[in-house]
């Protein structure tokens, strides 16, 4: 989907995914220390960025939908937290180098070349010892899960992500499928996501 399509989708419904953080983001990052600077790439309406800010992180959040960012600003104000919101396409956005302790990428479903570009920017943005956390729709969800995009080329496989981030100087801590219960017309069924958590090599240069 392009910027116009996302703006239309956000306009069509109030808070597409609610105001609470993604369940896996909350489970994996709740106790992460130190709470320094965090970068949320493709932040949407800001639910994860705002949640991190409530924990004490200094958060920069990036998305190219002005509709989503306007909602995010209102949500942040309601929760009395400050987040730096940047309107930009994350596939070309180059964040400050070695400036962040955490980079979060949630449900950024783009073809491999764009994904690799975003991961390279994420790697450069992290300080040595920083954490990279990814959660997104898995390719296996096409046949064994429910919901999500139906284009295989934008879906994630743990083995692919593991290889891609290891090549950028990360120590991979988790790379696996996780299941997320979803209410459907036929009852509760599982969507299958891919989760990756990795630590930036302390010896890496960020290049």
Q: Minimum mean pLDDT among 112-116, 124-128, 182-186: which range?
A: 182-186
Q: Residue 201: which pLDDT band, with cuts at 50, 70 and 90?
A: confident
CB-based contact 42:62 (threshold 8 Å): yes
Cis omega (within 30 of 0) for bond into 34:
yes
pLDDT of 70 higher than 70: yes
d(CA 177, CA 172) in angstroms, rounded, equals 14
Would strands 100-106 and 37-41 be described as parallel, antiparallel, or unpaired?
Answer: parallel
Q: Residue 158: which pLDDT band, with cuts at 50, 70 and 90?
A: very high
Percent over 90 (pLDDT), the chain: 85
pLDDT of 184 higher than 50: yes
d(CA 165, CA 168) in angstroms, rounded, equals 5
CB-based contact 171:148 (threshold 8 Å): no
SS3 content of the chain, % helix, strand, coil (to 5): 35, 30, 35
In order of 1, 112, 176, the CA distances from 152 in angstroms are 14, 11, 17
**pLDDT at residue 37, as a whole number:** 98
User: What is 100-142 written as a DSSP string?
Assistant: EEEEEEES----HHHHHHHHHHHHHHEEEEEEEEEEEEBTTHH
Domain positions in the chain? 3-200
CB-based contact 137:115 (threshold 8 Å): no
Supply the mean pLDDT for the chain. Answer: 92
CB-based contact 165:195 (threshold 8 Å): no
pLDDT of 1 higher than 60: no
CB-based contact 206:123 (threshold 8 Å): yes
**pLDDT at residue 185, as a whole number:** 86
d(CA 92, CA 29) in angstroms, rounded, equals 26
Q: Tell me the pLDDT tens digit for each residue of 72-114.
A: 999 999 999 999 999 999 999 999 999 999 999 999 999 999 9
d(CA 113, CA 104) in angstroms, rounded, equals 19
The dotted CATH code for 3-200 is 3.40.50.150
């Amino acid at each position: 989907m392009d910027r116009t399509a996302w703006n239309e989708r956000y306009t069509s419904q109030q808070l597409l995914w609610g105001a609470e953080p993604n369940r896996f983001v909350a489970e994996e990052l709740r106790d992460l220390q130190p709470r320094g600077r965090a970068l949320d790439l493709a932040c949407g309406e800001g639910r994860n960025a705002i949640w991190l800010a409530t924990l004490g992180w200094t958060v920069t959040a990036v998305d190219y939908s002005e509709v989503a960012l306007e909602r995010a600003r209102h949500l942040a104000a309601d929760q009395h937290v400050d987040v730096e919101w940047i309107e930009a396409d994350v596939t070309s956005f180059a964040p400050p180098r070695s400036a962040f302790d955490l980079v979060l990428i949630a449900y950024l479903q783009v073809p491999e070349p764009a994904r690799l570009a975003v991961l390279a920017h994420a790697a450069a943005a992290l300080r040595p010892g920083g954490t990279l956390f990814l959660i997104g729709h898995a390719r296996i969800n096409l046949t064994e899960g429910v919901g999500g995009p139906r284009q295989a080329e934008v879906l994630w496989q743990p083995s692919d992500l593991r290889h891609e981030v290891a090549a950028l100087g990360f120590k991979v801590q988790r790379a696996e499928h996780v299941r997320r219960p979803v209410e459907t017309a036929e009852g509760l069924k599982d969507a299958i996501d891919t989760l990756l958590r990795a630590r930036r090599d302390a010896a890496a240069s960020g290049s």
